[in-house]
C-alpha cells in the first residue's frame, strides 16, 4: 500500500525509538559514486535466451534489465575469448611483429545479441574482459593453464615481445564491436591472474600488468577509442589489494579507469587504497543449485544472503559496482540469477531470490548516484543512503534479525516517499505500507527483510 503526502519539511533521520537510538543520514558526508550492478553471459551461457521463443526471451530480458519488473541491471560483462574456436586471432602470425589474421563472426557466442539488447534496455556500461591472451603470445604457448604474456616484466620468449600485439588484438576486438554499433566502455586484459585454470587463463601480478598497461592505453588512444582500462579481476579481494599497490608503485594507476576484483578466495572487508572507482566484477554461488528461497537457513544461495553481500560491498568496501557471475542460463541447475527450463513454447523462465536482492539496490540506486553518510544503525539492522542524479534519495535498510522493526524516516523537504520490501512472504519486491506522522515517514521492516525507501524532494 502506498500513502502519498503533500510537501512536508522533515529532518533526515531513520529511527526505531529513543531506547534503540536513531539512524541519521548526513548528505554532507559523501563517499563513492555508484556505476551500477550487473552480470555476465560469458562462455555462451546466454545462447539459450538468444534462441528462446520471443515471449520467453523477453521475459528473461525483462527480469534482468527492466527497472520496474526486473532487477534494472546497468552493467554487462563480456568475455574476450582466447580459445582457438572463438578467438578473433586463432593462428599465430609467426612472430610478435608478424601481420595478424583476424576473424569476426558477428555473434561472439551470443554476446553481440546480449550487448545490443542490454543497450536497448538501459545498460550504462559494457565491460569486455580477456581471460587470457591467445596461447602463442604466452610463455607456456597455451591459452589455458596460466603462463605469462611474453614481454611483461621478468617474462621473455624466443618468439619475441608480444605486448604490442596483444594490445592490437584487444583494440581489434573493440573495433569489431564498433562495427556492430556497440561501444565497449571498458576493456580488461586479465581474469583471476593468480589462478592457472584449465580454461582461458593467464598469470600476472600488479608489476607485470603495469608493464603492459601503458602500451594498451596508447594503442586505444591511437585508434581514436574512448574505452577505459580495468585491472585486474583478481580471484580474491586480498590479492587485488596487493596488485593495486604494485600498480601504483609502478606508475600505472594513471592509465586505468577502474580497479576490479572477484570475491571467491577472499571477500572485501575494507576499501582498496586507490583514487579510482572499484568494481567487484564476479562472485556467485558455484556449489549450490538454483534457488527461489529468500531466507530459510542463511544458505549461500538465498536472497537475504546476497543482500548482505551487496550491502557489505557498497558500505564496507566503497564499491562502485557489484556484479554477479551469470545472469541467465538454460536447462541448468547452476546458481544463475534467472533460469530457463524446457524448450520451445513450453519453456519456463524463473527468477532467483538473489535476483530480487540485486533488484532492491539496482532499481533505485542508479548510475552516478552518490553514497552519503549514515550513523546509528540499531541491532540487526543496517542502513545505507544514496542520492541519485534525479534528486531522489534511496535508503536501503537490511533487517537481518527475525523480529520486525518499526522505523521512521525524516529529513529534507520531501514531496513523496514510498517503500519497497523483499522478504519470504512475497515472490518479488512489493510496496510496503507507510504513513506520515508528526513530519516523519513511518514503516515496519519485517524480520529477515530488505527494504528500500525512495524519497523525492
Whole-structure pTM value: 0.95
Domain boundaries, the chain: 8-31+371-456, 35-368
- The DSSP letter of residue 365 is S
CATH number at 35-368: 3.20.20.80
pLDDT (tens digit, 9 = 90+) per residue, 345-363?
999 999 999 999 999 999 9
Q: Which residues contact 222 (CB under 8 A, 6 or more apart)?
A: none
Helix, strand, or coil (residue 395) = strand
- Give the torsion sign (CA, 334, 428, 66, 443): negative
Q: Which residue has the cell 575469448?
A: 81
Q: Rounded distance, CA 12 to CA 104, Å?
A: 54
Q: What is the dihedral of CA 362, 363, 369, 375, to 10 degrees?
A: -80
C-alpha cell at 234: 583478481
Q: Give Cα separations from 333 to 78, 205, 328, 340, 353 (angstroms).
A: 22, 34, 11, 10, 14
The predicted pLDDT at position 335 comes to 79
Count CB neighbours of 132 within 10 A: 30
pLDDT of 1 strictly over 60 = no
Pick 153 or 417 by higher pLDDT. Answer: 153
pLDDT at residue 212 is higher than 60: yes
Beta strands 413-414 and 277-282, pairing class: unpaired
pLDDT (average), residues 391-405: 94
pLDDT-derived band of residue 283, with 50, 70 and 90 as boundaries?
Answer: very high
**Predicted confidence band of residue 411 (pLDDT cuts 50, 70, 90):** low
- pLDDT tens by residue, 286-297: 999 999 999 999
Architecture of domain 8-31+371-456: Sandwich (2.60)
Q: How many residues does the chain have?
A: 457
Q: What is the pLDDT of residues 321-353, one digit of tens each?
A: 999 999 999 988 787 999 999 999 999 999 999
Please report the pLDDT score of residue 23 as a whole number. Answer: 65
Please name the residue ranges forming H helices in 66-198: 111-120, 163-179
C-beta separation of 213 from 160 below 8 A: no
pLDDT at 424 over 70: yes
The rounded distance, in Å, linking the Cα atoms of 15 and 408 is: 5
Amino acid at each position: 500500500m502506498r500513502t502519498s503526502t503533500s510537501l512536508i519539511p522533515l529532518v533526515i533521520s531513520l529511527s526505531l525509538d529513543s531506547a534503540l537510538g536513531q539512524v541519521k543520514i548526513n548528505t554532507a558526508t559523501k563517499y563513492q559514486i555508484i556505476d551500477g550492478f550487473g552480470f555476465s553471459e560469458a562462455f555462451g551461457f546466454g545462447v539459450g535466451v538468444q534462441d528462446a521463443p520471443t515471449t520467453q526471451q523477453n521475459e528473461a530480458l525483462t527480469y534482468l534489465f527492466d527497472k520496474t519488473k526486473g532487477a534494472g541491471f546497468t552493467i554487462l560483462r563480456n568475455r574476450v575469448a582466447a580459445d582457438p574456436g572463438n578467438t578473433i586471432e586463432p593462428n599465430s602470425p609467426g612472430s610478435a611483429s608478424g601481420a595478424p589474421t583476424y576473424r569476426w563472426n558477428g555473434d561472439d557466442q551470443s554476446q553481440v545479441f546480449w550487448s545490443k539488447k542490454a543497450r536497448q534496455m538501459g545498460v550504462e556500461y559494457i565491460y569486455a574482459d580477456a581471460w587470457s591472451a591467445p596461447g602463442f603470445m604466452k610463455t607456456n604457448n597455451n591459452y589455458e593453464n596460466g603462463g605469462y604474456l611474453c614481454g611483461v616484466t621478468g617474462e621473455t620468449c624466443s618468439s619475441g615481445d608480444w605486448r604490442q600485439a596483444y594490445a592490437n588484438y584487444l583494440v581489434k576486438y573493440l573495433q569489431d564491436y564498433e562495427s556492430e554499433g556497440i561501444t565497449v566502455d571498458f576493456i580488461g586484459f586479465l581474469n583471476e591472474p593468480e589462478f592457472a585454470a584449465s580454461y582461458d587463463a593467464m598469470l600476472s601480478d600488479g608489476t607485470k600488468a603495469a608493464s603492459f598497461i601503458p602500451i594498451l592505453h596508447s594503442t586505444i588512444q591511437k585508434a581514436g577509442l574512448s574505452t577505459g582500462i580495468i585491472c585486474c579481476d583478481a580471484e580474491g579481494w586480498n590479492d587485488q589489494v596487493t596488485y593495486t599497490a604494485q600498480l601504483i608503485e609502478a606508475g600505472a594507476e594513471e592509465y586505468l579507469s577502474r580497479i576490479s576484483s572477484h570475491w571467491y578466495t577472499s571477500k572485501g572487508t575494507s576499501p582498496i587504497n586507490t583514487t579510482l572507482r572499484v568494481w567487484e566484477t564476479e562472485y556467485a554461488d558455484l556449489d549450490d543449485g538454483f534457488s527461489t528461497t529468500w531466507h530459510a537457513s542463511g544458505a549461500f544461495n538465498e536472497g537475504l544472503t546476497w543482500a548482505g553481500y551487496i550491502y557489505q560491498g557498497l558500505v564496507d568496501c566503497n564499491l562502485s559496482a557489484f556484479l554477479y557471475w551469470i545472469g541467465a542460463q538454460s536447462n541448468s541447475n547452476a546458481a544463475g540469477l534467472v533460469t530457463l527450463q524446457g524448450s520451445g513454447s513450453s519453456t519456463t523462465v524463473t527468477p532467483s531470490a538473489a535476483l530480487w536482492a540485486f533488484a532492491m539496490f539496482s532499481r533505485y540506486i542508479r548510475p552516478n548516484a552518490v553514497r552519503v553518510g549514515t550513523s546509528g544503525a540499531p541491532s540487526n539492522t543496517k542502513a545505507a543512503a544514496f542520492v541519485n542524479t534525479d534528486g531522489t534519495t534511496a535508503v536501503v535498510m537490511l533487517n537481518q534479525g527475525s523480529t520486525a522493526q518499526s522505523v521512521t524516516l525524516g529529513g529534507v523537504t520531501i514531496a513523496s516517499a514510498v517503500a519497497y520490501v523483499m522478504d519470504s512472504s512475497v515472490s518479488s519486491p512489493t510496496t510496503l505500507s507507510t504513513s506520515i506522522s508528526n513530519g516523519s515517514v513511518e514503516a515496519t521492516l519485517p524480520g529477515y527483510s530488505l527494504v528500500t525507501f525512495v524519497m523525492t524532494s
